[in-house]
């Protein structure tokens, strides 16, 4: 890790002026995963225990940790927040939720319940199983809100 004062390089990135170091701060986006968890006859949302948006509701989600595989990370987050074991059934896609502003990309997964009793895990205040779109409160992240409402009618509820 570089200890020098960084200066803008030719490509306009902050970089170490020491040629032997070569560090460039690319400021790549931070990967996040989130899951639409199908738990018949509904989907699972969680009330946030940690900031930002403490006390508000969202899909189970979190940062991809060092050296981890994104689909495994969404399963870990579902366990930590909703207390249940789930599995990924579909990689929905990856978006930048705040183009030009934030520096995250989110990969959304469709997941399905496997086993365990639904309860607020270590990383949530509460958890809720919503059986209709009307039951879902306004989610604190607009990207979660949009993808859940887009996907509600696409989910195979059989």
Q: Is the backbone of residue 43 left (phi > 0), alpha (psi -120 to 50) or beta?
A: beta
Q: 7, 9, 18, 114: which one contacts Zn ion (CB under 5 A)?
A: 18
Instruction: With beta carbons less than 8 A apart as the criterion, state whether 64 and 146 touch.
Output: no
In the stretch 127-146, what mask flags binding to Zn ion with x, by CB under 5 A?
Answer: --------------------
Which is nearer to Zn ion, 2 or 128 (by Cβ)? 2
Cα 20 to chain center, whole Å? Answer: 37
Which is nearer to Zn ion, 2 or 125 (by Cβ)? 2
The number of residues that bind Zn ion (CB under 5 A) is: 6
Q: Which stretch binds Zn ion (CB under 5 A): 16-24, 44-52, 122-130, 149-157?
A: 16-24
Which is nearer to Zn ion, 5 or 101 (by Cβ)? 5
21 scored as a contact of Zn ion (CB under 5 A) = yes
Least gap, CB of 137 to Zn ion (angstroms): 47
Instruction: Give 112: exposed, middle or buried? Use CB within 10 Å, 0-12, 13-18, 19+.
Output: middle
* DSSP-assigned states of every residue in 7-51: EE-TTS-EE-S-TTT--EE--PPEEEEEEEEEETTEEEEEEESSS
CA torsion through residues 130, 132, 138, 140, sign: positive
4 scored as a contact of Zn ion (CB under 5 A) = yes
123 Cβ partners below 8 Å, 6+ apart?
A: 49, 50, 62, 77, 80, 81
92 scored as a contact of Zn ion (CB under 5 A) = no
17 scored as a contact of Zn ion (CB under 5 A) = no
Site for Zn ion in 23-62 (CB under 5 A): 23
Residues that bind Zn ion (CB under 5 A): 2, 4, 16, 18, 21, 23
């Amino acid at each position: 890790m570089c200890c020098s004062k960084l200066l803008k390089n030719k490509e306009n990135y902050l970089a170490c002026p020491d040629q032997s170091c070569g560090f460039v701060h690319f400021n790549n986006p931070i990967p996040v995963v989130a899951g639409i968890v199908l738990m018949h006859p509904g989907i699972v949302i969680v009330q946030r225990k940690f900031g930002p948006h403490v006390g508000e509701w969202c899909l189970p989600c979190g940062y991809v940790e060092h050296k981890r595989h994104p689909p495994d990370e969404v399963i870990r987050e579902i366990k930590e927040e909703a207390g249940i074991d789930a599995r990924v059934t579909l990689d929905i896609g990856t978006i930048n939720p705040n183009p030009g502003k934030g520096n995250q990309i989110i990969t959304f997964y469709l997941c399905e319940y496997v086993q365990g009793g639904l309860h607020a895990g270590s990383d949530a205040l509460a958890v809720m199983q919503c059986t209709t779109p009307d039951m879902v409160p306004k989610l604190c992240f607009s990207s979660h809100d949009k993808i859940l409402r887009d996907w509600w009618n696409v989910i195979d509820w059989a």
